[in-house]
Amino acid sequence: MSASVQATLKAEAKDLNFYYGDFKALKGISIPVHDKKITALIGPSGCGKSTFLRCFNRMHDLYPGNRYEGEITLNPDNVNILSPKVDPIEVRMRISMVFQKPNPFPKSIFENVAYGLRVRGINKRSVLEEKVEVALQNAALWNEVKDRLHDLAFNLSGGQQQRLCIARALAIDPEIMLFDEPTSALDPIATASIEELMDELKDRFTILIVTHNMQQAARVSDFTAFMYLGEVVEYNDTKKIFTNPDKQQTEDYITGRFG
């Protein structure tokens, strides 16, 4: 690994296998997730990058027949968040997620951002108002919505809705934020604003992002894992991956020879 790595480890996948029923979707994945850095997962469709991301908040537990093997350890307490002894709800309270398509609740802008706080038992109006404002500011949405916090979230544009979903995920002060192709449903201008936002967030949050857009990975991330057929082919410093990858397969993919 290159010399630029001085960050501490926030999480680490260790020999992770994942099964959808009998189908082995992830095969022996081991990569680190550095604290307050952006790690990108790239690879062609069906390579398992979203599946891997969704292990981090135990989303797979919602559907029957899914099975994990191996570990994802989360620091500072070094707990294996995939362990059956760990409540998936506890994991989701520590690690939040932004989905592929904006999925705001059909509630007001305010209530959307406040929901994660309400789940944590925060119901005091003044506290909620303050935290919602901070989250919306962090998501670069505050100036656009401050006069209509009680309007329905559905009245926002697609890009604004996605930033609202980011604010919702930010409000709970997560230890890691998972982004699952957050710009794939957005136009180029909205995409640019989300990327700008991620750049601002990376000083304060640990981010793991799945993207099928290699330029996006190159622009926003510090580290990149290239996945193919359920395996990590190469994990490295983003600069290294995009300028001088170790593996031929990685080079073929990033130069557009397949995928």
Partner 1 sequence: MQQSVAEIRRLIARHKFWDYAFAIVGMICLMVGILVLLSLFADLARTGAPRLTPAFFTSFPSRMAEEAGILSAWVGSVLVMVVTACAAVPLGVAAAIYLEEYAPKNWMTAIIEINVTNLAGVPSIVYGLLALGLFVYILGFGQSILSAGLTLALLILPVVIVATRESLRAVPGSIREAAYALGATRWQMVSDHVLPYSSAGIMTGIIMGLSRAIGETAPIITIGALTFIAFLPNSPISPEFPFVNAKWLMDPFTVMPIQMFNWTSRPEEEFQLNAAAAGVVLLAMTLAMNAVAIYLRYRIRKKIKW
We find the least distance from the C-beta atom of residue 93 to partner 1, in angstroms, to be 4
Binding flag, residue 120, partner 1 (CB under 8 A):
yes
Of 49-108, which residues contact partner 1 (CB under 8 A)?
A: 57, 59, 62, 64, 89-90, 92-93, 96-97, 99, 101, 103-106
Cα Rg, the chain, nearest whole Å: 18
C-beta atoms surrounding 43 within 10 Å: 26
Task: Look up residue 136 and give its two tokens.
Answer: 């919306």
Binding flag, residue 148, partner 1 (CB under 8 A):
no
We find the least distance from the C-beta atom of residue 2 to partner 1, in angstroms, to be 33
Which runs of consecutive H residues, i.e. helices, occur in the chain? Answer: 49-55, 88-94, 109-119, 125-138, 142-145, 158-170, 188-201, 214-220, 238-243, 248-254
Binding flag, residue 169, partner 1 (CB under 8 A):
yes
Evaluate the omega torsion of the peptide bond into residue 245 and state whether it is cis, within 30 degrees of 0: no
Residues 259 and 98: their CA atoms lie apart, in Å, by 24
74 pairs with which residues across the strands?
A: 11, 79
Binding flag, residue 25, partner 1 (CB under 8 A):
no
We find the least distance from the C-beta atom of residue 89 to partner 1, in angstroms, to be 5
Binding flag, residue 121, partner 1 (CB under 8 A):
no
| Residue ranges in contact with partner 1 by CB under 8 A | 57, 59, 62, 64, 89-90, 92-93, 96-97, 99, 101, 103-106, 115-116, 118-120, 152, 154, 165, 168-169, 172
